A and B are shown apart, each in its own frame.
Chain A
Amino acid sequence: MDFSQFNEADTQRMQQLLERNQMRDFMRLYSGLVQRCFDSCVTDFTSKTMSTKEEGCVSRCTDKFMKHAERVGQRFAEQNSALMEEQSKK
């Protein structure tokens, strides 16, 4: 992000905004992940505790989701900068 057009106070404000957004996005990621992994891994309610199978599934689900987010993030950055470049040409 280019903050060169901002003065000191606005740069600070922008920083605060980014931090707030980061927190919000993290909470969103977290709750989405819980939802997804719960829905796909936990289907058996004959016991109150998680089975080894369920725990393994949740662990794999979390790992995989993080890798998914990372990869989508990379491709997104590429596509988005290509789009920006195209728009700035117009």
Chain B
Amino acid sequence: MSFTGMFGRGGKVGLSAQESQANFMMAEQEIEMVTDLFNRVSDSCLKKCIPDTYLEPDLNKGESVCLDRCVAKFFEVNKQVGAKLQDISAQNQASQQSRGGLF
């Protein structure tokens, strides 16, 4: 934990220690999330696109194109599932509120 921010030594002046701690934790969480996403994309696309008979050291055309599409589709699925989950939770919230209004 650092308090140098309070005295305006480097970084933004006036950012409290708590604020800078919150910033830090958010950045840390973001890094973790992106790293995790990358690892999952990489593992999935390796399994789906690269056959485990290693006849050549290079990616061939088919494998390369497969990887490109695989990464794009993984992001699509990520987005679609995210949107769907958001819908569901919005619906749940709405129905809870309306029930709360009735009783």
Type the 1/0 row for B51-75, where 1 means its CB is closer than 8 Å to any CB of A.
Answer: 0111111110001100110011001
Nearest residue in A to B11 (C-beta to C-beta)? A7
Nearest residue in A to B3 (C-beta to C-beta)? A9
- Size of the B side of the interface (Cβ < 8 Å), in residues, is 42
Which residues of chain A have C-beta atoms less than 8 A from B10's C-beta? 7-9, 11
A45 to chain B, nearest CB (A): 18
- The verdict on A44 contacting chain B, using a C-beta distance below 8 Å, is no
Per the bound structure, the CA–CA distance linking A44 and B50 in Å amounts to 22
A23 to chain B, nearest CB (A): 12
Choose among B2, B5, B46, B71 the residue that contacts A79 (Cβ–Cβ < 8 A).
B71
Per the bound structure, the CA–CA distance linking A65 and B5 in Å amounts to 44
Interface centre among A6, A14, A67, by most chain B C-beta atoms within 10 angstroms, is A6
Which residues of chain B have C-beta atoms less than 8 A from A11's C-beta? 10-11
6 closest A-B pairs by beta carbon, nearest first, are: A7-B11, A9-B2, A8-B10, A40-B52, A63-B57, A75-B71
